[in-house]
Structure 1
Amino acid sequence: MKFESHGVSGGCWNGALQAANPPAALSVLHRGEVVAEASLRDAGPGVWAVSVSLPPAVIDQGAHSLLLVAGDEVLSSLALTAGTVAGDDLLAEVAQLRAELDLLKREFRRLAAGG
């Protein structure tokens, strides 16, 4: 699977997913928690239009990093920065790293618990 982000417009993250079959579920994670589910629409052979309505909590003051995941596979990441943030680029990068680390920790704990 390959996801191509088309960016955010009107609070909605859009893109295209190339896959033979659509995944059972696409989720958006923020700080290791699922905050939204993506909707898929057939856009041609092997291509699915992806749309996610982002909750207001992640479109807020500061830097926020979102991950689009299908099961355990991270398909894409999105860094959102709003307001006046010192060192915008660095904070967005740290937020993205934290989100990915939270995902890894959660999956490691699940595997260690035998799940």
Structure 2
Amino acid sequence: MHVSHDPTAPASERIGFDAFLAVDIRIGTVVSAEPFPEARKPALKLVIDFGPVIGAKRSSAQLTEHYTPERLVGRQVAAVVNFPPRQIGKFLSEVLTLGFADAAGAVILFRPDHPVPDGSRLF
């Protein structure tokens, strides 16, 4: 399945509410970020703390256009925490960090506009 980043693309087909609830989107705080020069597309390696139940998880994220590792540490981000891990080169990405494409296609992170407890679930 291809997901379009084009803001003029039509909405996807309708799904039931249970399908939405099956996607577990949580808030976590970035505790470390470093360059990922081995990735095919420019990316960063993140470690995100999702609180005591889920814990710290790793993510590869194509964020290099608008973010530096230093700017990300301490920042809350949203991620899907229940997809299977994905091997990206020698790095195992455990969660999918969420963002939107800007007008040029670069990723802008999705995050709450006020702090929430790490591990909070989107509903």
Q: Is the TM-score greater than 0.5? A: no
TM-score by length of 2: 0.23
Higher helix share: 1
Greater relative CO (CA pairs within 8 A, separation 6+): 2
TM-score by length of 1: 0.24
Higher strand share: 1
